[in-house]
Structure 1
Amino acid sequence: MNPYQQGHSGYNSQPRYLHNIGFSNTAPQSFGNPLPMPGFPTTGYPAPQPGYSTGYPNSQGYPNSAQNYPSSAQGYPQPAQGYPQAAQGYPQAAQGYPQAAQGYPQAAQAYPPAAQGYPQAQTGYPQASQGYPQANQHQGYPSHFQSQIQQSYSVSSNPVANTPKSKPTVVPANPFDPREDAAVLRKAMKGFGTDEKAIIQVLTRRSNEQRLRIAFEFKTLYGKDLVSDLKSETSGKFEDLLVALMTPLPQFYAKELHDAIAGIGTDEDVLIEVMCTMSNHEIHVIKQAYTAIYGTLLEDDLRGDTSGNFKRLMTSLCMGNRSEDFHVDQQKARDDARSLLQAGELRLGTDESVFNAVLCSRSFPQLAAIFQEYHNLTGHDIDDAIKNEFSGDMEKALRAIVKVVRNKPLFFAERLHKSMKGLGTNDRQLIRIMVTRCEVDLGDISNMFQSKYGETLQSWIEGDCSGHYKKCLLGLLGLY
């Protein structure tokens, strides 16, 4: 899959890159929501101006004919009487419409006062300075549309504003000159010997998209592939880490999933880590990358390599159809908590389909409310119930979803700790988490690591890794 796309011929423009090169800290919001929101007008039409009627002309905006317009016997004179005097029906020339010598009237003089039959400016036509409303105003919608809007998008600002921002350790470089970076890398690998420090400092201080732009400029300037040069100049785990850094994130995830299910045996931990933590948008982009690289559907490969309840759970997650509404419905949370209780602890055996349906389709805020309601009903945690009702990969996957809902950085901190504890190191897992989370929340993961284990992530990396591999990992933490 070529992540680059040149500008139109004939124009001296910068290269344009496909929108799915990688995931940013703002995904999926930055890519928009292609689905229409219930209660909102079709995208592309401007919102109504504030102050216009909230209905049709017998509603609030226009006066009722019986109230403000005179009856035919009062307002319109009899033919024998002629037209009324200026002081009775129409405003005087100085008040309403100006003399011809005065030109166009000022905004305040164009309409007579509200007492003479027209509505006040606040309920009628807007002042000239008001213009169009902000995107989150609904003055122009009828009242029944306003209630639909509030129900379908009731969290317009508060929950988003209250959500703490994540702490990435790698942010896009600014200013950024990809040709200059390409020259630095070329110099670091040219001739005898390799300047690993220069390579680390460039690649660990650029975002994934910026690294791809550097590779594009590298091939443009020198006619060589940057990844091939890096492979020829480095080796071991350091080489693996650099290649991971130079891979577009969707392709990287696709390769990790493919390697987890290819060959003999399956690495279910990789499937759980990726499929249980990704957003709908990320899952769809990974599926596209997977098909582009391997020519098969991710869903088909997952189903062919798993079985039982775990197979059904992976299939549900692969749909990427989880609700992403921030609004929490407490009544539905109580109903779902009761359903989970009846499907598990209150019956002989377990109805796995109920757990599958609830944990794969409800939004993360809604799941948090369901878990709290479950605790209120039973007096113990949903995690304890899952441990008692399930086993094996299904248990690990469901518990992973619970952990991600409650504290995603803690979930990844535990996986980093697991990758380095004991004899040996699970370098693939370590590289995967460090590379994929450094632009999202690696700072939070590092803090949670220290809070839970009493030691810093830096100290564990220094004690478990060595050489340029260790320095590059520390670089992703912003410590080299």
Structure 2
Amino acid sequence: MSSDDEFKTIHIGRIGSNGGKLSSSSSIESNGASSRRRNMPMMYQMYESQYEDLRGTVYGPESPDFFPAQASECLRKALSTGIETNDRAIINVLVHHNNFQRQKILSAYEDMYEKNLIADIEEETGGFFLEMVVALFKPAHVLDTLQLYKSISNRYGDHSVAVEIACTRSARQLKVIREQYQQDFKKTLEKDINVKVEGIFGRMLSLLLCKPREEDGKRLDDDLVNRHANLLLSVRNIQQTVDDLSRNIVIFEQIFVIKCWRHIAAVLNRADEIRGDRRDIETILRKNKTMHSETRLMLLTLVHVARNSQLYFAEKLRNAMCGDKSDHPTIIRVIVTRSEIDMADIVEEYKRRYQRSLEFDISQTCSGDYCRLVLSVINPTSGMHD
């Protein structure tokens, strides 16, 4: 029996026939998720429990007794085949277990073989395949914390990943990241941003990452939406730019930091309605040539995420594949971090936006086992990709 065949005997799937959606009304799903969360450390519970109706592509076995020892045996055989590592068996284990279950597999592997699984994989594989495997095995909140640290510490001033995390993680997730950041780097995130990220952009980034935000769910206050929309429009100067907004911390905090994302989207839509046939807020931001480039990127990210976060990630993937040089770190980051949250919706938004499948474009951009791994995370139900 091959490693692939052996793994199939221990896999218990939860992936629906519609590409990953499991209704939150399903008693099986709810009981499985509830049981799984009770077996998680609190940090994992806080990081996962924000999404009641998951539209990811990776779920893993619903039972907490998912036999990590057998998955470890499969991995050990895949890494001990001699000249050629069985990368497909590694892919199978990764895409058929969720992030928390992979931590159990890491522990079981070390207990059984007195070896570090990641170190063994690093000896046998390499390139972007290895980078993605390591990312998939990292606890989700640890991966985000590390990505954030690298972004704000970037000597070249590219803080786009920090902005992405600030705008696409929930208030509770950001709280976990802040706690993990202090634990890992022995300093608070807020103080580190103040030291490493200069100017008003740094103050805005600190607010987005460190200031508590209302969670979506409350009924929108129409009067407040109208007030904020008029406030947003009032900060334009006579040339009808948004330069003043990029320098006004008080207004930035009122509109973009404290309130929930549904409120921000409503404010933006109302502001565009008030302007009528004139250029919308997004166009004004895009065409502004005097605003600091990172501040403009931050404001555009806020607009995109508030209106459609899945479309935002679809555009990130498209841009990563269409430049002069493919941006594989972005491809890996987006695919890994959204795999258990909304990857199925991102795939749909990609096709709707570009009239082509994400899988096809990935197959044209990536190669080898790395390509198979990316495609398997995007659509685990399709089996091994050729």
With normalisation by structure 1, the TM-score equals 0.65
Is contact 1:450–1:457 with CA below 8 Å preserved after alignment? yes
Matches within 5 A, 1:367-406: 367-379=264-276, 380-387=279-286, 388=288, 390-406=291-307
Equivalent-residue separation in structure 1 for 2:107 and 2:169 (angstroms): 28
Partner of 2:157: 266
Instruction: Give yes or no for the alignment of 1:332 onto 2:224.
Output: yes
Does the residue aligned with 1:408 lie in a helix, a strand or coil?
helix
Q: Which stretch of the first structure deviates more once superposed, 372-381 or 464-473?
A: 372-381
Aligned match of 2:50 in 11, 24, 27?
27
From the CA coordinates, give the structure whose radius of gyration is larger: 1
- Indicate the larger mover: 190-199 or 403-412: 190-199
- 2:263 corresponds, among 366, 389, 399, to 366
Runs of 5+ consecutive residues of structure 1 not aligned to the other structure: 1-14, 30-164
Task: Spell out, residue by residue over 1:334-362, the C-alpha distance to the aligned partner (whole angstroms, 9 max, x if none).
Answer: 11111111122469961522134311111
Q: Give 1:277 shift.
A: 1.2
| SS state at 1:328 partner | coil
**1:255-334 equivalence runs, <5 A:** 255-262=146-153, 264-324=155-215, 325-334=217-226
Deviation string 1:410-449 (CA, Å, 9 cap, x unpaired) is: 0000000111113321111111100000100111111111
Q: Secondary structure at the match of 1:276?
A: helix
Distance in 2 of aligned mates of 1:433 and 1:23: 20
Task: Quote the residue 2:355 is aligned against.
Answer: 454
Give the distance between the partners of 1:214 and 1:260, measured in 2 at CA. 29
Q: Secondary structure at the match of 1:310?
A: helix
Q: By how many angstroms is 1:191 displaced?
A: 4.8
Matched ranges for 1:1-400 at <5 A: 17-21=40-44, 26-27=49-50, 165-174=53-62, 176-192=66-82, 193-262=84-153, 264-324=155-215, 325-345=217-237, 350-351=244-245, 352-353=248-249, 354-379=251-276, 380-387=279-286, 388=288, 390-400=291-301
- Give me the whole-angstrom Cα distance separating, in 2, the residues matched to 1:397 and 1:313: 9
Judged with a 3 Å threshold, the aligned counterparts in structure 2 of structure 1 residues 398 and 291 are, in CA distance, closer, same or farther, namely same
Distance 1:194 1:376 in 2: 58
In structure 2, the gaps of 5 or more residues are 1-37
Amino acid at match of 1:247: K
- Does the CA-based 8 Å contact 2:47-2:173 persist in structure 1? no
CA contact (8 A) 1:367 1:405 kept: yes
CA contact 1:257–1:270 (8 Å) conserved in 2: yes
Indicate the residue corresponding to 1:100 in structure 2: none
What is the root-mean-square deviation of aligned Cα atoms in Å?
2.2
SS for the counterpart of 1:20 is helix
What is the aligned length?
A: 331
Q: Could you tell me how far 1:166 is from its partner in structure 2?
A: 4.7
Q: Distance in 2 between matches of 1:182 and 1:170?
A: 19
Task: Specify which structure has the bigger relative contact order, considering alpha-carbon pairs within 8 angstroms and separated by 6 or more residues.
Answer: 2
Could you tell me which amino acid in structure 2 is paired with residue 358 of structure 1? I
Displacement of 1:27 in angstroms is 1.7
Asked whether the 8 Å contact 2:60–2:95 carries over to 1, the reply is no
Residue 135 of structure 1: aligned partner: none
Contact 2:121 2:130 in 1 (8 A): yes
Instruction: Tell me the distance in 1 between the aligned counterparts of 2:345 and 2:237.
Output: 35
Identity score, percent: 27
AA partner of residue 343 (structure 1): V
Is the 1:188–1:198 contact (alpha carbons within 8 Å) kept by the matching residues of 2? yes
